[in-house]
Structures are given as structure tokens and as C-alpha cells.
Amino acid sequence: SQTIHQWPATLVQPVGSPLSLECTVEGTSNPNLYWYRQAAGRGLQLLFYSVGIGQISSEVPQNLSASRPQDRQFILSSKKLLLSDSGFYLCAWSRGTQETQYFGPGTRLLVL
């Protein structure tokens, strides 16, 4: 069966510090991978998606970047965090362009 992991689960970072969130998927190959952000009590904002190694599409211009160094690894980064980067970050995967996305447990980021 397939499993998606995210870490860390919770992160408190000062403004201006760098960020690295990691997502890995087990039990499948060549998945589509997605990063979403969810502000408190709000909907899901798609940040990035990837259809393969090194292939990243950005949905919203912002202070964040994404990379996919391996088939089942997706990394969300920032060089300098802003207060507005606080939120709940969710990684998801799907089988190719198939319609069902499976979400990870999320990382709660608080920027102070």
C-alpha cells in the first residue's frame, strides 16, 4: 500500500530564517506530487505541483520554492520566511494525472 510522509509535524521559525519541508511517498512510482498551503480556517491553496523529477510548476508567485530531487521526494523551501508564510502545509500525491489525490499529515508552520 502507499504511504505519504511529511516532516516535521510542527515548526516554529523566526522571520527571515530559511525553511525546508520534506515529503516522501512510499509504495508507488512516478507519482504526481503537490504542495498546498492552508491558512487557519481557510481553504486549500495549491502552491506547486510536479509531474516528474526536476519538473516543478508554480501556481502562485511567492516567497517559496519547490524541488523534486528524487522520484518520490518533494521539498518545499524558502530562503527567508515572512510572517505571512505561517500556515498548514500539505503534501499530496496522485497516480499520474488521475483524479484522486492522497494527502499527507501536514506540517504546521508558525513564523514569529
Which position among 11, 28, 46, 67 is part of the footprint of another protein (CB under 8 A)?
Answer: 46
* Binding flag, residue 47, another protein (CB under 8 A): no
Residues 6+ apart with CB under 8 A from 13: 19, 81, 109, 110, 111, 112
Comparison of 31 and 80: residue with beta carbon closer to another protein: 31
> C-beta of 77: minimal distance to another protein in Å?
20
Question: Whole-angstrom Cα distance, residue 106 to residue 37?
Answer: 9
Comparison of 46 and 53: residue with beta carbon closer to another protein: 46
* Binding flag, residue 90, another protein (CB under 8 A): yes
| b/e sequence 18-48, b meaning 16+ C-beta within 10 Å | ebebebbbeebeebbbbbbbeeeeeeeeebb
Binding site for another protein (CB under 8 A): 34, 41-44, 46, 49, 90, 92, 97, 99-106, 108
